[in-house]
Structure 1
Amino acid sequence: MEILPPPLQAYLDAHCDPEPEMLITINRETHVKVLKPHMLSGHYQGRLLSMLSKMLQPKCILEIGTYTGYATICLAEGLAEGGEIHTIEVNLEMEEMIRKNFKNSGFEKKIFPHFGDAQRIILELSDKNYDLVFIDADKKNNYAYFQLIINQLKPGGVIIVDNVLWKGKVYSEANDTDTRLIREFNDLISADDRVEKLILPVRDGITLIRKKQL
């Protein structure tokens, strides 16, 4: 769901950098071959992720929720020289498409895909120190992921969390389980004095979380 009115979103799309050809192909194939293609970051959000990564020039990125690899490639565009991105996908059926997309992206040697339970894999990667983290997986575990990685996030590092406005339901009277959990996550982050935080009304809502300097 787009939070912004469609004419405004179309204007924004038209006035950011164009979607790279490789990502256009992934976008098209995702819509043709994969269930729930709305989960794809897409043109505008993809350029936002790319821009943030280029501004931070991270040496090490963690992504939780690979899907078809679109956002992974956007984030990889900003990696520092010798940098790496570790991305985790729970759906093993996506592996063939993901690996193909990474191979075709030109970033294959910088991207390290992991398949399985994210919380287990995060613990297995406990020797990593992250400059940038993108959380876009099962929403009920957002806070669990945050708690698992906050100590591995470098001071000044940034966590990006997707879908925090949840189709506008978090600020409505909706009271279903998913909405309550996302609302609770937003409240917990808002009250956490270890970090600075800001929600952007991009697509379904993105929270930027910056770990304070020591």
Structure 2
Amino acid sequence: MHFLPEELDAYVVAHSENEPELLQQLTRETYQKILQPRMLSGHYQGRLLSMISKLVNPKNILEIGTYTGYSALCLAEGMQKNGVLHTIDVNEELVDFQRKYFDKSDYGNQIIQHLGNALDIIPKLDKTFDLIFIDADKDNYPNYYNIIIDKLNLGGIILSDNVLWSGKVIEELKPNDTATKALLEYNKLLKEDSRLETVILPIRDGLTISRKL
């Protein structure tokens, strides 16, 4: 979803940082071989993730929802030299695809893949994080929040994708629309939790930046 007119959006992208060649290759192969390629973060949002990570300069990053690895590689660009990025996904068929591109990058030995349910995996990770990116099944956003908040360091950042959900968050809620219901609850959680300060950016499908106080 684009909140700007198409021509203005194109101008914004054209005057933002160029997309690295490796990520261009990843995008092409994702569109050729993988279902639902629109799930990619993409050039513009990817550069935004990279910029935020560089500003935070995290030692430890947690990503919930790997897909084909695009966003993980963007976030890794800002990671400290001895940093580690943990990324979690449930799709076994994408593990080798992700690893191929991770290993082509400068961060291959710093990215750890986890296969399975994030709600089961995260409590077993014996570390805290400076940057957490949530971009997985929307129904579980509130549940993800409840298990990550105590693993986020003070001053740490939570990035949450798809929080505007194609505008459905301001439409009448349909009884069977569990994803939108969960996102409404999640957005309310972030707004009302006194441990955070939160800003929603109307970028693509909505990206929230939350900082732990």
Structure 2 counterpart of 1:185: 186
- Contact 1:3 1:167 (8 Å CA) reproduced: no
Which is further off, 4-13 or 133-142?
4-13
Structure 2 counterpart of 1:132: 131
Q: How many residues align?
A: 211
Structure 2 counterpart of 1:170: 169
Structure 1 counterpart of 2:155: 156
Please report how far the alpha carbon of residue 172 of structure 1 lies from its aligned counterpart in structure 2 after TM superposition.
Answer: 2.0
For the residues of structure 2 that align with 1:115 and 1:203, how far apart are their CA atoms?
A: 27
1:1-214 maps to which residues of 2 (within 5 A)?
Answer: 1-125=1-125, 127-175=126-174, 176-212=177-213
Please report how far the alpha carbon of residue 106 of structure 1 lies from its aligned counterpart in structure 2 after TM superposition.
Answer: 2.0
Please report how far the alpha carbon of residue 178 of structure 1 lies from its aligned counterpart in structure 2 after TM superposition.
Answer: 1.6
After superposition, what is the alpha-carbon deviation per residue over 1:18-57, rounded to whole angstroms, capped at 9, x for unaligned? 0000000011111111111110000000000000000010
After superposition, what is the alpha-carbon deviation per residue over 1:120-166, rounded to whole angstroms, capped at 9, x for unaligned? 110110x2110000000011111111110111110000000000000
Please report how far the alpha carbon of residue 3 of structure 1 lies from its aligned counterpart in structure 2 after TM superposition.
Answer: 3.2
After superposition, what is the alpha-carbon deviation per residue over 1:155-199, rounded to whole angstroms, capped at 9, x for unaligned? 000000000000011012243222122112111211111100000
- Contact 1:133 1:160 (8 Å CA) reproduced: yes
Give the counterpart letter for 2:62 in structure 1: L
For the residues of structure 2 that align with 1:200 and 1:16, how far apart are their CA atoms?
A: 16
Question: Which secondary structure does the structure 2 equivalent of 1:151 belong to?
Answer: helix
Please report how far the alpha carbon of residue 9 of structure 1 lies from its aligned counterpart in structure 2 after TM superposition.
Answer: 1.7
- Contact 1:164 1:206 (8 Å CA) reproduced: yes
- Contact 2:142 2:182 (8 Å CA) reproduced: no
For the residues of structure 2 that align with 1:55 and 1:118, how far apart are their CA atoms?
A: 26
For the residues of structure 1 that align with 2:122 and 2:149, how far apart are their CA atoms?
A: 11
- Contact 1:62 1:85 (8 Å CA) reproduced: yes
Question: Which secondary structure does the structure 2 equivalent of 1:54 belong to?
Answer: helix
* TM-score normalized with structure 2 length: 0.96
For the residues of structure 1 that align with 2:153 and 2:29, how far apart are their CA atoms?
A: 36
Percent sequence identity over aligned pairs? 54
Question: Which secondary structure does the structure 1 equivalent of 2:23 belong to?
Answer: helix
For the residues of structure 1 that align with 2:4 and 2:18, how far apart are their CA atoms?
A: 20
Which is further off, 9-18 or 156-165?
9-18
Question: Which secondary structure does the structure 1 equivalent of 2:127 belong to?
Answer: coil
Give the superposed CA RMSD.
Answer: 1.0
